[in-house]
Amino acid sequence: MLLNKKRPALLIFSTLIGSLLVGCSTTDDPSSDNIVLPTDRELILNGQFANDDDWWVAGAGLTVKNAEGCIDIRSPGSKSWDVILGQGGFGLIKGQTYTLEFNARANVDTTFKTLIQHQGAPYTTYFSKNISVTDKSAPFTYTFTHLKKSDADTDFQMQLGAQKPATVCFRNISLKIN
């Protein structure tokens, strides 16, 4: 009887591919998502503003001093997203509860929107609150449960446009998995 010398290699390759496919899943179970959970449950990087790393800004400048990030809004534009302080690079898991905390103040009374959305079109909003601040630093805390399907590509934003010129300052920004 003649043996096919290619068959053992093919069998090994098929077994390897099959074992890799067994780990794939398309269920809504959070344990099957490709979202990496940080060990400390904190999703925001550098929320203590040790420097301006990890943050992006649109339509204004960011100054970091004394563990506080301040946005100097000289041209607020006509839309809330014309001036943004933001950070991406994290995901949300369906059914998971999150707590967002931060302190904010401004040199003039102003209102802005804080939100978490899909990073890119169609910009699905998962969390949104309008925030009013004065010249006194105030704490803000919000808890929400992500009810939509898991999203590995989300974005946290403070949308500061469409207001009067102001300097708005933040400290202790935290988004934690409960």
Q: What is the pLDDT of residue 46?
A: 96
Q: What is the pLDDT of residue 65?
A: 95
Measured between alpha carbons, how far apart are the two ends of the chain, in Å? 64
Torsion of CA 32, 33, 35, 36, to 10 degrees: 0
For the stretch 2-14, pLDDT in tens is 444 443 333 333 3
Nearest alpha carbon to residue 106 among 173, 160, 177, 67? 160
pTM of the model: 0.78
Rounded CA separation 137/134 (Å): 7
Q: Which sign does the torsion angle of CA 98, 37, 56, 124 carry?
A: negative
User: Which amino acid does the sequence have at 168?
Assistant: V
**CA-to-CA dists, residue 49 to 105, 108, 170, angstroms:** 15, 22, 9
For the stretch 12-66, pLDDT in tens is 333 333 333 333 333 344 443 566 555 568 999 999 999 999 999 999 999 999 9
Q: What is the pLDDT of residue 72?
A: 95
| Residue that wins the pLDDT comparison between 24 and 121 | 121
In the sheet with 125-133, reading across from the earlier edge strand, the strands are: 56-58, 84-92, 151-159, 110-118, 125-133
For the stretch 70-108, pLDDT in tens is 999 999 989 999 999 999 999 999 999 999 999 999 999
Q: Which domains does the chain have, with CATH numbers?
A: 38-177 (2.60.120.260)
Q: What is the pLDDT of residue 14?
A: 37
